Amino acid sequence: MKDRISRRTFVKKSVLAGSAILIGNRMVPGFMNCGIQPLQAAEKVDLAVIKGSDFFQNTFKAVQQLGGMESFVTRGSKVGLLINSPFKNYGAYVKPEIALAAVKMCYEAGAKEIYILKEGADGYWERSKLAAEYKDEIKSLKAGWQVFIDHTIPNAIALDKPSIAKALLDCDVFINISILKHHDGIQFTCSLKNMMGTSSTGTNMGMHFGGKIGLSFFPDVDRLSQCIVDLNTIRKPDLCIVDTTEFIIEKGPYGPGKLAKPHLIIAGTDRVAIDSYCSGILGLDPTQLPIIQKAVQQGLGDPDLKRINIKEISV
């Protein structure tokens, strides 16, 4: 773990430095500054990290390192996209150009239909300058948040029967698109926490309050963490993409607040490894975060980044 943190000291310092969090074009230690290199046949990338200012193109490049979207989406498939998009303050939602890149890749790979599993804020797509260019693709997206069903979770510890979006179970391919940011309750939001977007408002309120209405919005962080982990056992994402470009480092999950701007796009398939990596960007110790430790206990992934191949590239 020490080696991983030292390899990404630039990001932690950017978060902790307050007004100095804008890194700009300075070369990042540990990142290859030579563009996207073709992978050798024997190399399998588990976690791709692309640094650069073109967030749309870098989303393509991150997924390319994992074998391309065609490795996840087959022709004629129905895809469910879970995008952290309901928030209005800058740095609290996934940039729409990142989500648009995922949509474009899915269609290019042959997806028949794309369902959005969580309703976004009004005008979400129009926040991107690319909205007009991809207006047809945006119009084609189907609402996957309108029908919820009660779902029993086998061996649940805290959340045995949530109400979840039916489209989550119906889609052939599930892609989780989250944003890294601060969270007042569980300390950070990333891939695991984003799964709350697949459950109904009533289920989410129950997860937050746990029957302790009126005390605070996070009266029992340990229980909330366990509920999120239980929710994650319903379905494993086929692919996770994380917006780690510009995000709030305080007053999360809503904001507004101070921003970190490491300009990273991260992609992988192990949500626990992704959350372990991303928590370090916020200066957090993943071994001390209940949500990660509970996910490990329930076999949802591997938090040990020394055991996976991480491809870090600056473009």
* Phi, psi values for residue 79, rounded to 5°: -110, 135
Burial of 141 (0-12, 13-18, 19+ CB in 10 A): middle
Q: What is the mean pLDDT of residues 86-104?
A: 98
**87-113 burial by CB neighbour count: b if 16+ within 10 A, else e?**
beeebbbbbbbbbbbbbbbbbebebeb
Q: What is the mean pLDDT of residues 242-257?
A: 97
pLDDT for the residue 209: 83
Q: Is the pLDDT of residue 226 over 70?
A: yes
3-state secondary structure 132-194: CCCHHHHHHCEECCCCEEECCCCCCCCCCCCEEEHHHHHCCEEEEEEECEEECCCEEECHHHH
DSSP type of residue 22: B
| pTM of the complete model | 0.88
The neighbour count for residue 171, using CB atoms within 10 Å, is: 24
pLDDT for the residue 261: 98
Determine which of 41-55, 142-156, 246-260 has the lowest per-residue pLDDT on average: 41-55
Tell me the HSE value of 59 on the side-chain side, using a 13 A CA sphere: 24
pLDDT for the residue 33: 56
pLDDT for the residue 210: 75
What's at 32, amino acid-wise?
M
Spatial separation of the C-alpha atoms in residues 279 and 268, rounded to whole Å:
15
When pLDDT is cut at 50, 70 and 90, the band that residue 40 belongs to is: very low
The residue whose two tokens read 């959005």 is 116
Spatial separation of the C-alpha atoms in residues 84 and 198, rounded to whole Å:
10
Q: Is the pLDDT of residue 9 over 60?
A: no
Domain ranges of the chain: 2-35+42-314
Identify any residues that bridge with 239 across adjacent strands, giving them in sequence order.
175
pLDDT for the residue 212: 61
Q: What is the pLDDT of residues 100-142, one digit of tens each?
A: 999 999 999 999 999 999 999 999 999 999 999 999 999 999 9
Q: What is the pLDDT of residues 276-294, one digit of tens each?
A: 999 999 999 999 999 999 9
pLDDT for the residue 215: 60
Residue 249 and residue 20 in contact, taking contact as beta carbons nearer than 8 Å? no
Burial of 231 (0-12, 13-18, 19+ CB in 10 A): buried
Q: What is the mean pLDDT of residues 302-306?
A: 97
- Report the mean per-residue pLDDT for the chain: 88
CATH topology classification for 2-35+42-314? Rossmann fold (3.40.50)
Q: What is the mean pLDDT of residues 168-174?
A: 98
